[in-house]
Structure 1
Amino acid sequence: MGSLLTAFAGFLLASSWTAIPFATFLVSTGYGWVRHQALIARAVTFAMTTVTIVTLGLIVVFIFVESIPAFQYESATVFGVSVPGLGMFIQTRWDAVTDPVRYSLLPMIHGTVMVTAIATLVAAPLGVAAALFIAEIAPPTVRELVKPGIEILAGIPSIVYGFIGFTIINPWASDEFALNGGSTYLFVGLVVGLMALPTVVSVAEDALTSVPDSMKDGSLALGATDWQSMISITLPAAFSGISAAVLLGVGRAIGETMAATVMLAGTQAIPDPLTNVFYGYETLTSLIAANYGNTSGVHESALFAAGVVLFVTVLCLSIASQYIEARMRRRLGGAE
């Protein structure tokens, strides 16, 4: 703790752009907290919220601005109109060495889709089933043991999953399927699916427990069994929340970096055929992680372009999950 405080103090004292504003903030806040506590509390919380939003906005702007050279470089003409960045999505060659260099994101997008699809097939059914068991079937004692265990899984660093996959799964896959190095989208997807599982379970379990007890009791009163009530009442009523849980899990799978970087071959290529899951080359996240420290110019900008694709994709999934979750609240509240 002492070293952290010392490092923070050194950061503040390194420049007047940090030390003076921070000191002014402390003095004014301390004075206001004594004389106008309620007003200062509102002002401080508003300022912190504003700083958070502005920081996120600046990060987004920085990523988009840095990606502009790559989009300009990979322009393509359609019906006589030059479309910036179109070349990244219509060609399959990524070559940052041979002249002329090409920066196609299509192979990495394909790898990301493959890994995400497999991870979803793993996390969605297992996560929903586990959430249903915790929310509706498990006795209280078992529930108190299982829920913390799932939360512990969410806290395990992704590099640990990737290291286990690299040292155990990849060699096994190489021996069993005669693969060079054992790098496959199939097993990377399995590992990432297990990593996304706690997210799906937690959110889906909250959705299931939010279903009003009156709906379940009414079903039981009409003679339905517990299983029939779960299938006919609980799951349909919580479908929006479960869908949001799956989308959040998909977002986790898309943004996973370390497991994909460690387990995949790191080659920018598309397998033949496209659905061949027994080869694994590269994803968008592993591309950025493997190249960010050794690039400059348009090559570096192309990595930012990959970040833009990831950002837009995850943003759309997040918005969709928020919309679905809000729809569930309106539905259970009786206001369609």
Structure 2
Amino acid sequence: MGIQDWRKHVEQRLQRTREFVTETEPAALAIVILSIGSLLTAFGGFLLASSWTAIPFATFLVSTGYGWIRHQALIARTVTFAMTTVTIVTLGLIVVFIFYEAIPAFQYESATVFGVSVPGLGMFTQTRWDAVTEPVRYSLLPMIHGTVMVTAIATLVAAPLGVAAALFIAEIAPPTVRELVKPGIEILAGIPSIVYGFIGFTVINPWTSTEFALNGGSTYLFVGLVVGLMALPTVVSVAEDALTSVPDSMKDGALALGATDWQSMTSITLPAAFSGVSAAVLLGVGRAIGETMAATVMLAGTQAIPDPVTNVFYGYETLTSLIARGYGSSTGVHESALFAAGIVLFVTVLCLSIASQYIEARMRRRLGGAE
């Protein structure tokens, strides 16, 4: 950096500093404090279900509106920071609430290992779920097994088909075809899951029951296929965005060196966009894990593990369908066990998110030459 560039940079920093000092004059600071304070007060009143919540919320709107006219930049930073804080606090309270409500179930299903009582261990060491017959038991293993089966089948459907379709749209399809297909795929992503579940229940289940005599048509195989088709538009859309974000110069360089279009796609485009493609697949897996209505409608409401455990031609229950079927009539420890099922789903999706972030960071380091 030359002397002139350095001088210009220092002057710009000084100018921004002067603007910030000007904006944080006492009147502006008072508006900021009033805006944040009223928003936090309204948020607390909302959590407490207070009838006075409207007053601090109206104060927030008035103070923010006035501050937006007089000190727009400062109020914009303040409001965005406050909204982010409220969002994080809300998500944190939801997590705390779920874990708190699951405590009775973990206490009830405690198990002893080497003389030490481990809360909740019984949920993962037995296979009986029975909320009616004494002694009641709340094992999550049958539902975890069902969730894994449906998710695995859905991933086998959505991942290869989604990546292949994204690669076709981004690299092979003519512009006219791309302009027609891409919006259609995004429209498919917005179809409610109950529609897929209804089609599966009225069309696929009777067909499988008639043709194969399979458990009334309720099977992990066909539920996984339906859920995979539901996740397919999400995988295609996100993966296509990742593939199109690869600079054309990288692909042109490979073609100039004599590589074919297929070699350019497999050796340049896919590795460069691997983080985005993997994120697309993980998003599809996350949707498959959290899918509720299609699994609830198509699967039988029985808590059991098929014999053998790899048999995909049976379909009993998943974690999401368990919660959907039981939340309306459950009480006490039974309701707490449903919150425990929600914790398993939460932790699973959280691990997938962390894995996607790790993969993205690792690929960014590789492409940047850090490894």
Shorter-chain TM-score: what band? over 0.9
Conservation of the 8 A alpha-carbon contact between 1:241 and 1:328: no
| Shift of residue 10, structure 1, vs aligned partner | 15
* Residues 275, 363 of structure 2: 8 Å contact kept: yes
Q: Which residue of 2 aligns with 1:2?
A: 37
Kept after mapping to 2: 8 A contact 1:12/1:19 = no
Q: Residue by residue, what CA displacement relative to the aligned partner does 1:220-272 show, whole Å, maximum 9, x if unpaired? A: 11212111211222222322322221111111100000000000001000000
What secondary structure, in the 3-state scheme, does the structure 2 residue paired with 1:293 have? coil
CA-to-partner distance for each residue in 1:109-154, whole Å, 9 max, x for gaps? Answer: 0000000000000000000100100110001110011110110110
Whether 1:269 aligns to 2:300 is: no
1: CA distance between counterparts of 2:278 and 2:125?
31
Distance 2:95 2:273 in 1: 33
* Contact 1:245 1:321 (C-alpha < 8 Å) held by counterparts: no
Contact 2:154-2:225 within 8 A present in 1 as well: yes
Q: Look at both structures and tell me which one has the larger radius of gyration over its CA atoms.
A: 2
In 1, distance between residues paired with 2:57 and 2:185? 40
Deviations 1:150-205 (A, max 9, x none): 10110000000000000000000101111232000000000000111111112211
Unaligned runs of 5+ in 1: none
Superposition TM-score, scaled by structure 1 size: 0.93
- Report if aligned partners of 2:130, 2:138 keep a CA contact under 8 Å in 1: yes
For residue 237 of structure 1, the aligned residue among 255, 268, 272 is: 272
**Root-mean-square deviation (CA), in Å?**
4.0
How far did residue 279 of structure 1 move? 0.6
Query: CA offsets per residue over residues 257-298 of structure 1, 9 Å max, x none?
Result: 000000000100000010111110000000000000101100
How much has 1:14 moved relative to structure 2? 8.6
Q: Specify the alignment match of 2:263 in structure 1.
A: 228
More deviation in 182-191 or 217-226?
217-226
Indicate if the aligned counterparts of 2:131 and 2:334 stay in contact, CA closer than 8 A: yes
Structure 1 window deviating more from structure 2 (2-11 vs 47-56): it is: 2-11
1:288/1:47 CA distance change after superposition, 3 Å: same
The residue aligned with 1:159 is 194
Q: 1:61 to 1:333 in 2, by over 3 A?
A: same
8 A contact 2:127–2:139 mirrored in 1? yes
Q: Output the CA distance in 2 between the equivalents of 1:250 and 1:240.
A: 15
Once the two structures are overlaid, the 10-residue window that deviates more, 321-330 or 167-176, is: 321-330
Alignment match of 2:288 (pick from 253, 267, 276): 253
Q: Please state whether the residue corresponding to 1:301 is helix, strand or coil.
A: helix
Question: By how many angstroms is 1:11 displaced?
Answer: 9.8
1:241–1:324 CA contact under 8 A, matched in 2: no
Question: 1:77 aligns to what SS in structure 2?
Answer: strand
The answer for unaligned runs of 5 or more in structure 2 is 1-35
For residue 312 of structure 1, report the CA deviation from its aligned partner: 0.4
Aligned partners of 2:253, 2:112: CA distance in 1, in Å?
62
The structural deviation recorded for 1:8 is 15
Q: Is the 8 A contact 1:94 1:104 kept in 2?
A: yes
Q: Distance in 2 between matches of 1:55 and 1:5?
A: 12
**Alpha-carbon deviation of 1:5?**
22
CA contact 2:39–2:60 (8 Å) conserved in 1: no
CA change 1:185–1:12 in 2 (3 A) is: closer
> 8 Å contact 1:91–1:104 — kept in the other structure?
yes
Q: CA deviation at 1:15?
A: 4.3
- Is residue 2:71 matched to residue 1:36? yes
Report sequence identity in percent. 94
Bigger relative contact order, structure 1 or 2, given CA contacts below 8 A and separation 6+? 1
By how many angstroms is 1:215 displaced?
Answer: 2.1
Supply the distance in 2 between the matched residues of 1:55 and 1:198 (Cα, whole angstroms): 30
1:4 CA displacement: 22
Per the TM alignment, residue 2 of structure 1 is displaced from its structure 2 partner at its CA by 30
Report how many residues are paired: 336
- Shift in Å, 1:67: 0.4
1:294-327 residue CA offsets vs partner (Å, 9 max, x unmatched)? 0110000000000000000001101211222333
